[in-house]
Structure 1
């Protein structure tokens, strides 16, 4: 390691270019990972928060909650102790005072039941004209205490409280009573339809034209979720693979430039293993410094990014990506290994 660091300090300009390459690649990979994670979270946090692991929904909906409708006859037998009714509807919320609009979802629930979210500010709704909102609505100019309309209706709903991390299909969720949900979706409270029944365990003897899916399957079938996730994963994987090639090429070129020096070292009796160790220590030091600076730049970026951009830095995923970049950099050093192992001291220093 001493030899590796000494050589880096002696040729600062040469190795600075390698560090800059590490910084740019790692920063891009981390930023894409943050966007991918943030977008995925915005699709699913409201579903992740459901207390049960199974969801009963209409069979024709093809595991898509947005298309599911269950009649009272279908869910009556399933709505037993431990299960919870859920009504979902996509809406446009508007603040008539400021004319601010935002795409959002309604989750109609029993506000005293298992599906009630944790209130971070204010209180739970006590009337059908009240709603609890995900706190991300504040990014769009809607705040606690505002009175909003939904889908252009004349009825106004007061936001009496806020919750956190409750988004579905990338937009905020408004929690209302089941009666409010039914009034908005079906035009009257007496229609007892819901979207799904959430259950902690698998139900038996499912009603006709229904199916039970896991939360994981429900999330996978959110429109666009799988395509977005796979696209980002391929991009991140490609960038990590590119790291191997770029660092491998860099280190191979640097190795060729130092063949004469390696020949002198071999002639002095320095073992090949010591030269190889110095090469990989160099790569490790350069990778750690470059990736570390990349993480620092990512932290600075996260501070000034607008809240409306779906960015989330997962520490565990960040650690995994960091380890992957460093490992792939070390693997890239194998390109130079054969060259070092076959150095002829006499030939390398220009002898005959």
Structure 2
């Protein structure tokens, strides 16, 4: 530990550059991860707020919920399997306020519902984000497929689907709008997922992956995060390789006076750990600050747990990268290294 710290103090600029690179890459990774998590939540908080469970979709729908249809007979069959089943339908649409301004929403109708607001006919419960567009409780709104207006009863937090505010609506109004009495999905909470012939089963995450906009968006952002981790590993390896090349003669002398190779590796690992931990602490602190100062409408979500997990990944990558670059230490022959000289 002492030898490693003395080496850092002796070559401050060298290790400062490494620390700055780790800091910048880790900060960028955390910010992109926060944006990915924020977009994920903004895209499907309606589903993410549900407890873990199983979604059932008609097999003929081939994984597309809007093509699935559960009629009354099917619903009775599902209810015999589980008394806790909830049925729901989701359709993208729009509402028009008193100023004839249109607002995109995701209409949601439910039955046997224990997780979402219960709505009376002619009522409407909206996600609170739509308040930014000027809609308030008690307002009357219309829809071109209804012959009567809807009254905004209240607002709820964190209920969005496909980046649109959710509009919870009574099933009678939903039926008039879309000319169907069938529901699209059945949801059974809990770990047990009874099998039913003719239906595909999806966990919460698997159901989200069936949504094209969600899966494509998350795949792109997660690939960027993965590449940043790969790049950071390569930088660790390259930087420590360059340092080790410059210290070949020093390693030769240390080996000549009896210092074991394992101790030289430990010195390198301590240096990596010190530099990386300092850089990561700064990255975590600034990324949390970014989440606070971000504009309210910007989807950004990075918990301390997520940031800590990424920091642990960076430490593992740093250990692997530095170890791979340090293999040459074990190959150093004292006399040969001394004869070659070094910087």
User: TM-score, length-normalised on structure 2?
Assistant: 0.84
1:1-352 equivalences under 5 Å are: 1-50=1-50, 53-79=53-79, 81-97=83-99, 99=101, 101-110=102-111, 113-117=112-116, 125=119, 127-150=120-143, 155-186=148-179, 192-200=181-189, 211-216=199-204, 217-350=206-339
Q: 1:293 to 1:141 in 2, by over 3 A?
A: farther
2:94 & 2:266 partners in 1: Cα distance?
A: 62
1:248 & 1:351 partners in 2: Cα distance?
A: 23
Q: 1:158 to 1:9 in 2, by over 3 A?
A: farther
Q: Secondary structure at the match of 2:212?
A: coil
Could you say what the CA RMSD is over the residues aligned between the two structures, in angstroms?
A: 3.0
Q: 1:320 to 1:25 in 2, by over 3 A?
A: same
Q: Secondary structure at the match of 2:142?
A: strand
C-alpha displacement of 1:135: 2.6
Q: Secondary structure at the match of 2:25?
A: helix
- Unaligned runs of at least 5 residues, structure 1: 119-123
C-alpha displacement of 1:246: 0.8
C-alpha displacement of 1:288: 1.0
1:87 & 1:64 partners in 2: Cα distance?
A: 12
Residue 121 of structure 1 corresponds to none
Q: 1:215 to 1:344 in 2, by over 3 A?
A: closer
Q: Please list the CA deviations of residues 201-236 of structure 1 after superposition, one character each: whole Å capped at 9, or x if unmatched.
A: 656776xxx524234443221123333333333322
Q: Please list the CA deviations of residues 43-81 of structure 1 after superposition, one character each: whole Å capped at 9, or x if unmatched.
A: 433224446834444443222222333333443444554
Q: Secondary structure at the match of 2:187?
A: strand
CA contact (8 A) 2:208 2:214 kept: yes
Q: How many correspondences in the alignment?
A: 336
2:298 & 2:308 partners in 1: Cα distance?
A: 22
Q: Please list the CA deviations of residues 123-173 of structure 1 after superposition, one character each: whole Å capped at 9, or x if unmatched.
A: x64x32222222333455544444433458674433322223322233221
2:173 & 2:261 partners in 1: Cα distance?
A: 76
Q: Please list the CA deviations of residues 306-338 of structure 1 after superposition, one character each: whole Å capped at 9, or x if unmatched.
A: 333332214433332211111111111123323
C-alpha displacement of 1:296: 1.8
CA contact (8 A) 1:56 1:212 kept: yes
Q: 1:78 to 1:276 in 2, by over 3 A?
A: closer
